[in-house]
Amino acid sequence: MRTIIWFVYFWLHLLYISGSMLRAASLSKSGKSKELYSLLSKITFQWARNLLWVAGVKIEASGLENIPDEPVVFVSNHQGDFDIPILFFVLKKPIGFVAKIEILKMPLIRTWMKLLKCIFIDRNDVRQTLNALGSASEILKDGRSLLIFPEGTRSKSSEINEFKAGAFKVALSSSAPIVPILIDGSYKIMESQGFWIKPGVVSVKVLPQIITKDMSRERAKGLGDEIKELLLASR
């Protein structure tokens, strides 16, 4: 029953905030970045908080002092579909993230994601992926942070899969700081039961940022392994 209620609420809430979506779109077209950012901050936090409450998810967060005001690239392991609302709730700021291009087929959701400056990639088209990621530098220059899941897909477990090197090129090419984040337990909310939602507690740890400016080529080459080890050690 909780799962049915959650999905009904998910879509009803999107319809409920459609007026705010139109206002956000208008602010975006008018170039009113500060007002847009403020509105998106409010909407995404409330959306995440309510979805987690309906699902019965409690968050134990630490390292919040490591969340900077300036634009950064947040790098997190990826356990399940609840990771996005969990991070919106913890970080309390609108963040664009890398998502598969198929999401563009979903009404309402795609509009909000475009307003958040999400990057859509086609995993079957390397050139499209590179071009899409190339636009990330402009997003960071515009004062927005980005979220990347270097594993590329959900692990659906407590395991952390291999981090793909290409995921870090965004931060390295723009000299943006990287803030690693460890999520532990989100897969237990839905993925471990198939498609059914189960209440639970999720731990989120925000680690100190890693400066990429003037980083040596040798260190940059092993950055994925370095961050993965940091996350494993922080458990």
Residue 59's DSSP bridge partners are 202
Q: Using one digit for the tens of pLDDT, what is the confidence trace for 55-99? A: 999 999 999 999 999 999 999 999 999 999 999 999 998 899 888
E strands, the chain, where? 57-62, 73-76, 96-100, 119-121, 146-148, 178-184, 200-206
Interhelix angle for 83-91 vs 33-55, to 10°? Answer: 120
pLDDT tops 80 at residue 43: yes
Model pLDDT, residue 124: 77
**Which residues, in sequence order, are CB contacts of 223 under 8 Å at separation 6+?**
165, 168, 172, 178, 210, 215
Residue with tokens 């890693």: 210
Average pLDDT, the chain: 91
Q: How much is the pLDDT for 137?
A: 78
Euclidean distance between CA atoms 179 and 175, whole angstroms: 13
Angle at 101 between CA 100 and CA 103, to 5 degrees: 85
Average pLDDT over residues 194-219: 94
- Tell me how far apart the alpha carbons of residues 29 and 228 are, in angstroms, rounded to a whole number: 39
CA-closest candidate to residue 7, choices 183, 153, 195: 195
Task: Return the DSSP state at 99.
Answer: E
Domains recognised in the chain with CATH numbers: 2-233 (3.40.1130.10)
91-114 pLDDT, tens per residue? 998 899 888 888 888 989 999 999
* pLDDT over 90 at 46, yes or no: yes
Neighbours of 82 (CB within 10 A): 25
